[in-house]
Amino acid sequence: MCASASADTIILKNGRRIVASNVVEDDDHVSYETPAGRLVLPRSIVARIERNDLSPLSGDENSEAPVSAPSVDVAAGYADIAARAVHDGSVDVSFLAQLETAARSGDDNAIVKVAAAHHAAAQFLIAKGDLASAAEHYRQALTFAPDNVPLLLNLAVVDLRQSEFTAAMEPLEHARRIDPDSADVAKLMGWAYYGANKLDKAVSEWKRAAQIRPDPDVTSALEKAQRDQQEEAGYREGETAHFSLKYSGAAAPDLARAVLHTLENHFRELESQFDYTPPERIGVILYTNQAFADITRAPGWAGAINDGRIRVPVQGLTSVTADLSRVLKHELTHSFVGQKSRGLCPTWLQEGLAQWMEGRRSDESAAALVQIYDHKSAQSFAALEGSWMNLTGDSATYAYAWSLAAVEAIIHDGGMGDIERLLDQIAVTQSTEAALRSTLHIDYSELAHQTVAYLHHEYVR
Ligand SMILES: [Zn+2]
């Protein structure tokens, strides 16, 4: 979401860089978009503008689906049934009950209708973000049409979107028995195995999918998985209740054990902070520094990343230092936040929370952040929602500091309870700013204002 928004960097004569969207320049002014309207800078303070496209990269810090979900229609030509199943902003439960009564007779046409109606209800709920209820509708439809492959595929997609990789295997295996040559089944099975850290099986499913039907999406997922597979061929493995770890033979087994122990401690703490438990084991890979750079293709400033699996360079370490422990907690926070928000959490909130959880605070950056805000050049949170992987070192530093300050201010005012409600709302709302308005009753410009007031109160007098 938002990861493909284009962003440019305005470089001021004092050296400061502002990553901005929709930058427009004329002879006297440079302006850019913020949620509060366009901000205008005098041309005289601008050194230059770097134009670039923020296209999504593999190895983004936020976890995201490795492949797209195929759109599979359950019963074409039943638009009238769909329109009667969902109208006036809700699911018509009594209409569904009526269709179910008719379908119990075993009449084929009645069964197609009930499947179409439940599919319409599920799609409506998916759009609202209520994935659990959507899954219920597919399960209910399957009691009438157990071998309906489109229903099975749609149920699997809902499971996968909730990171329920093991649960997704059941409808997928059933669908394969009915339609062994389905490219969609193979594509989704690859996703399920990849999510469950079964790389070899993911690779063979995606190869199978690509053979049945060429799909650029599958090709790029396959390439990434094969890069991982090659690198990890000589790796050793370790597993605990919540983690599955892989590490290069060059890393000491003692270090691997200590990392797992540290991660389990962090897991328990984050579980209580967020009141949430990720449903599946989380994959962690320890790299030598060179392997990390080769595999993740992350920019130089990224110390570790989390693209669904936590990837950490540990070259030269023999024990879990305080720094490594902080990095692990930071990346683990991304897993919790990503899954709790169903992958919809914007980058600024992800990074703000990850830094807050690792123990970072705004004391050193507060004065600079206040000054930038007072000069009306604060970055808008809207522009920080998408991927940061193309940010240069300086703008990344600023983006991290500004996001941490905002999270610190929210937690200072309302505690973790506010964060929890915000994440739950983000999971079911299409826009973060709307979620902010309905839970904390502020918009983005008020969040910036509140953040600066907090920084003044806490650090800058
Ligand atoms: Zn991070």
Q: Say what the pLDDT of residue 1 is.
A: 24
List pLDDT tens digits, range 272-310.
999 999 988 999 998 877 777 776 666 655 678 888 889
Contact 357, 19 (CB under 8 A): no
Contact 151, 164 (CB under 8 A): no
- For residue 386, the CA-to-ligand 1 centroid distance in Å is 13
List pLDDT tens digits, range 4-29.
234 566 666 555 556 666 677 776 67
- For residue 50, the CA-to-ligand 1 centroid distance in Å is 25
- For residue 417, the CA-to-ligand 1 centroid distance in Å is 22
Q: Say what the pLDDT of residue 384 is.
A: 95
Nearest to 236 by CA among 223, 221, 262, 254: 254
- For residue 295, the CA-to-ligand 1 centroid distance in Å is 18
Contact 344, 427 (CB under 8 A): yes
- For residue 311, the CA-to-ligand 1 centroid distance in Å is 11
pTM: 0.68
Give the CA-trace dihedral at 128, 137, 190, 350, to 10 degrees: 30
Contact 153, 175 (CB under 8 A): yes
- For residue 345, the CA-to-ligand 1 centroid distance in Å is 12
| CA dist., res. 119 & res. 116, Å (int) | 5
- For residue 383, the CA-to-ligand 1 centroid distance in Å is 17
The identity of residue 99, as a single letter, is: L
- For residue 404, the CA-to-ligand 1 centroid distance in Å is 11
Dihedral pair phi/psi, residue 303, rounded to 5°: -80, -35
Measured distance between the N- and C-terminal CA atoms of the chain, rounded to whole angstroms:
38
Bridge partners for 237 per DSSP? 246
- For residue 350, the CA-to-ligand 1 centroid distance in Å is 7
| CA dist., res. 39 & res. 213, Å (int) | 48
The separation between CA 290 and the C-alpha centre of its own chain, rounded to angstroms, equals: 26
Q: Say what the pLDDT of residue 15 is.
A: 54
- For residue 72, the CA-to-ligand 1 centroid distance in Å is 35
- For residue 73, the CA-to-ligand 1 centroid distance in Å is 37
Is residue 379 predicted with pLDDT exceeding 60?
A: yes
Query: What's the whole-number average pLDDT of the chain?
Result: 85
- For residue 289, the CA-to-ligand 1 centroid distance in Å is 18
Q: Say what the pLDDT of residue 60 is.
A: 33
Q: State mean pLDDT over 250-268.
A: 88
| CA dist., res. 258 & res. 318, Å (int) | 9
More confident residue, 60 or 151: 151
Q: State mean pLDDT over 149-173.
A: 92
Number of alpha helices (DSSP H) and beta strands (DSSP E) in the chain: 17, 12
- For residue 333, the CA-to-ligand 1 centroid distance in Å is 8
Is residue 119 predicted with pLDDT exceeding 50?
A: yes
List pLDDT tens digits, range 175-206.
999 999 999 999 999 999 998 888 899 999 99
- For residue 327, the CA-to-ligand 1 centroid distance in Å is 9
List pLDDT tens digits, range 427-456.
888 789 999 999 999 999 999 999 999 999
| CA dist., res. 420 & res. 426, Å (int) | 10
